[in-house]
Structures are given as structure tokens and as C-alpha cells.
């Protein structure tokens, strides 16, 4: 049965208002505003709303299997839809670890059945994330989940031999190794960014060079092997410089920055609130400025949330005992608007690039029957998010769709509001609220 939805007066990537006609999972027509025939169609009033391609997150922790007390695939993907996402990449540090074809297929099937977004499992680089033996990279790539992104995120692939072998292996199926850049010996016992604040409040510091040393090593390995490297959650000015240098040399490297590293600084640790404990740590104002500049000039390719939900018990405790991590799926677009759009550094077309097209391309999900990150054009999949850029909201973790409340933006007023999200033409969010769906 044919289904049609008209997005009346939407502004594709902030341009002139049009009528976007979604039919049978694709964008069927783009017409002058107010001219689309609404007979038999659902009509969404999108006056004043920016239409973007559905957002794609290359770095999400859904916790299932193993830590369903913090998040499930259903609750995490529901939060993703509420944040405007139509696809997420689920990191491998689950219990059991996603290091076999069986586990990644389980994650993929649960995500498909939940129906909120497309779930693309990330495969572990090493067995058990222990950094000693390569996981079943080829089997995961050939599985129903068609894994193309591999990462031990949460841990660094610190052994250069293992990292080289992984880079060589993934070339066979155009995969990418996404590295958590953290030299373990330089960060033993580290609690926050090493600097003035850590010295003043007495917490063990995490030096910027611990991130930068791994990035420097890995871009040289990627150049030597001729393989794709992706740098997870880049956070320092020196890291931006290294990626910029590598790209000028022609190294096939991409990089991401998180929303929290675009906005927050290590000054927030002064109250010892573990909400602000994250890996890598919040850095200095100078680092924040550097990553914003790197995102604006294309050195940093994408924004990825590193959504890391935790139970109240894992966060509501003293700083040293608290888990690293913050939620971010439902606030990512607002933070990007606040830090990059409203400051004049980027426009909405740039937002579509860093939050949709580029992450889909890096994850190799930008083609095929379930393609993501495609432009808003006739014949393209109807993955669309409608955003009200004039709206503001005060973040309340208890009101979010994620099962956890550890948002670093609680009590903060942020611009922008996701009004509606469509996954292949089917509404997953309307009027700002998730719509209960079946796959």
C-alpha cells in the first residue's frame, strides 16, 4: 500500500522553502511550497523548519548485550531517533564483546527489529578487546551485519604490530580501523586532563601527548600500509595539527570530534561532579577552539556522539570510582548548532555533511538498498529530520529517551529542537516525541 507524507514548507539544508513529498520510502517529489497535492497524504507543517538528511552516528554505545541496566538497543535507538538520527554504529565493548560474526549479527538483528534507526555494529579489532590477537574481522565483514568499521574503543590498540596487521587486513573489504588514541602507559591512573585545573584540584592528569603520540604513530602506519584510519573522539589542538599534516601528505585518515569536546572544558571538573568524567577528558578552552576550527576547515571530518550511557550507581559516586562517559544522542545537533552554526563557522549544508554524509561515507553505508547520508533529492531514500532552529530548550536528563541520565548538558539551555524524524519515509518522531513503531 502506497504511503505519502508531505513536508509542507520545509527548508532543505536551510535553503528556500519547498514541499518535500515522501512516498514509498523515497523522496518522490520536491515542489514549490504549497503546491503538493495533499489528497490521501499525511501533511506535516514544516514552516520555518530546516530539513536535513537523517543523521548518522559513527560512534554509539548501546550497551546490549551485557549492560542492559544502562541502555538497551531499543532505548538507545529510540534516543537516537529523538535526536534526529536514522543510523548509528554500535561500538563493540559489550559483554560479550562484539568480536565474532555471531555477536555482531545479534546486535544487527535486535536493532532491525526495534525499528527506530538502522543499527550497524562495529566489530572489535582484537579478541576480547585485549589487544593481543586479531578478532574475526573477515567473518564479521561477511556476516549479515556487513561490518566495515572495527574498533577496540574504550581501549587503544596500543601494540603497533597488531595495529599494522589490522590495517592490512581490513583493506581486503574496504574496512576502516577506528582508533581510540590513548597511550596506556602515559595515562595510568589518569582522571582528567593534565593541566592547571588537575594540578589545582589534585586529580591525576591525562596529558594531551598520550592522544597525540598514538595518532602520530597510526597515521604513519596507515600511510605505510595504504589503508583507511579513523581517529575517534579527537580532543586536543595537537591532534588537529597531526591530522591536518597527515591529510596534506595524502594519508587516508578521517577524524571525529564529540559534541562535548566542542563545548565543554576541564574547568567543569572543579566541583568533582563525575558527570563530567569522560574518556578522553574534557580539555582546555584552547583545545575547544582548535577542534572547532578543525571541524570548520574540514580537518575533522565528522561529529560523532560517543553516546556512553551509565547507571546511576556508576555515576552517582566519588569521582575516582565513577565510570567514564556521557550521553549525547539527543543533544548532539543542538550543540553543533550552538557552537558552529550560531557562531557563523558553519551553515546547515555543512551540518548535513559532518552529521550525515561524511559519517555514512566513512562507514560505507552511503549506497545500497538501505543507504544513509544521501542528499535530499528526488529518488533518494526518505531519511529526513526536521529541525526548528529558533527553538530553545533546557536539557533535563530525566526527560530524555535514553535509559540513562548522565548528560553533561543538564540544566543548560541549548538551541534547536528536533521536530520530526523519518526513516525511509516512516515517522519515528513527530511533534518532538518518538512514535512507537514496528520494524
324 is known to lie in a ligand binding site: yes
Residue 383 assigned as binding residue: no
Q: How far apart are CA 310 and CA 306, in angstroms?
A: 12
Q: Is 306 a catalytic residue?
A: yes
Query: Is residue 257 within 8 Å of 326, Cβ to Cβ?
Result: no
Q: How far is CA 161 from CA 133, 168, 221, 232, 237, in A?
A: 10, 11, 10, 20, 27
| Backbone conformation region of residue 154, classed left if phi is above 0, alpha if psi is from -120 to 50, else beta | left
Residue 59 assigned as binding residue: yes
Catalytic residue, candidates 306, 314, 350, 388 = 306
Read off φ and ψ for residue 165, nearest 5 degrees.
Answer: -65, -40
Instruction: Tell whether residue 93 is among the known ligand binding residues.
Output: yes
Question: Exposed e or buried b for every residue in 379-388, given b needs 16+ CB within 10 A?
Answer: eebbbbbbbb
The annotation status of 271 as a binding-site residue, yes or no, is no
> Distance between CA 202 and CA 248 in Å, rounded?
40
The 3-state DSSP class for residue 47 equals: coil
310 known ligand binder? yes
DSSP state of 127: G
Q: Is 63 annotated as a binding residue?
A: yes
Using CB atoms within 10 Å of the CB of residue 253, give its burial: 0 to 12 exposed, 13 to 18 middle, 19+ buried.
Answer: buried
Upper half-sphere CA count for residue 437 (Cβ side, 13 Å)? 27
Residue 431 marked as a ligand binder: no
Residue 260 labeled ligand binder: no
Q: Annotated binding residue at 347? A: no
- Whether 422 has a binding-site annotation, put simply, is no
Residues making up the annotated binding site are: 59, 61-63, 93, 153, 180, 233, 279, 306, 310, 324-325
Residues making up the annotated binding site for Zn(2+) are: 59, 61, 153, 180, 233, 306
**Residues acting as catalytic residues:** 306
Residues making up the annotated binding site for substrate are: 61-63, 93, 279, 310, 324-325
Amino acid at each position: 500500500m502506497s504511503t505519502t507524507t508531505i513536508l509542507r514548507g520545509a527548508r532543505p539544508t536551510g535553503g528556500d522553502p519547498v514541499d518535500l513529498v515522501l512516498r514509498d520510502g523515497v523522496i518522490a517529489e520536491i515542489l514549490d511550497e504549497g503546491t503538493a497535492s495533499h489528497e490521501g497524504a499525511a501533511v506535516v507543517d514544516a514552516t520555518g523548519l530546516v530539513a536535513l538528511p537523517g543523521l548518522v552516528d559513527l560512534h554509539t554505545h548501546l550497551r546490549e548485550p551485557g549492560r542492559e541496566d544502562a541502555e538497551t538497543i531499543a532505548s538507545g535507538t529510540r534516543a537516537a531517533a529523538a535526536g534526529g538520527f536514522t543510523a548509528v554504529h554500535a561500538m563493540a565493548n559489550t559483554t560479550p564483546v562484539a568480536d565474532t560474526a555471531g555477536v555482531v549479527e545479534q546486535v544487527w538483528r535486535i536493532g532491525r527489529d526495534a525499528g527506530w534507526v538502522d543499527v550497524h555494529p562495529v566489530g572489535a579489532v582484537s579478541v576480547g578487546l585485549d589487544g593481543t590477537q586479531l578478532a574475526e574481522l573477515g567473518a564479521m565483514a561477511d556476516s549479515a551485519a556487513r561490518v566495515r568499521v572495527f574498533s577496540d574503543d574504550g581501549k587503544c590498540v596500543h601494540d603497533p604490530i597488531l595495529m599494522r596487521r589490522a590495517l592490512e587486513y581490513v583493506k581486503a573489504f574496504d574496512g576502516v580501523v577506528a582508533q581510540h588514541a590513548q597511550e596506556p602507559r602515559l595515562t595510568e591512573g589518569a582522571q582528567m586532563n593534565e593541566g592547571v585545573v588537575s594540578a589545582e584540584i589534585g586529580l591525576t592528569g591525562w596529558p594531551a601527548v598520550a592522544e597525540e603520540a598514538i595518532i602520530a604513530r597510526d597515521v604513519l602506519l596507515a600511510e605505510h600500509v595504504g589503508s583507511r584510519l579513523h581517529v575517534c573522539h579527537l580532543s586536543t589542538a595537537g591532534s588537529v595539527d597531526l591530522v591536518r599534516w597527515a591529510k596534506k601528505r595524502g594519508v587516508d585518515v578521517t577524524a571525529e570530534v564529540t559534541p562535548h569536546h566542542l563545548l565543554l572544558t576541564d574547568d567543569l571538573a572543579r566541583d568533582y561532579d563525575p558527570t563530567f568524567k569522560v574518556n578522553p577528558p574534557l580539555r582546555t578552552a584552547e583545545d575547544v577552539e582548535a577542534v572547532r576550527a578543525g571541524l570548520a576547515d574540514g580537518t575533522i571530518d565528522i561529529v560523532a556522539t560517543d553516546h556512553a550511557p551509565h547507571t546511576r550507581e556508576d555515576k552517582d559516586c566519588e569521582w575516582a570510582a565513577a565510570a567514564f562517559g556521557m550521553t549525547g544522542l539527543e543533544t548532539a545537533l543542538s550543540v553543533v548548532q550552538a557552537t558552529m552554526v550560531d557562531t557563523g563557522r558553519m551553515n546547515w549544508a555543512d551540518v548535513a555533511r559532518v552529521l550525515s554524509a561524511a559519517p555514512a561515507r566513512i562507514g560505507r553505508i552511503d549506497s545500497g538498498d538501505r543507504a544513509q547520508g544521501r542528499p535530499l533529492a528526488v529518488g533518494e531514500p526518505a531519511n529526513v529530520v526536521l529541525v526548528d532552529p529558533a527553538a530553545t530548550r533546557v536539557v533535563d536528563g530525566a526527560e530524555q529517551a535514553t535509559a540513562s541520565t548522565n548528560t553533561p548538558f543538564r540544566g543548560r539551555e541549548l538551541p534547536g529542537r528536533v521536530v520530526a524524524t523519518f526513516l525511509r519515509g516512516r515517522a519515528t518522531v513527530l511533534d518532538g516525541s518518538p512514535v512507537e513503531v514496528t520494524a
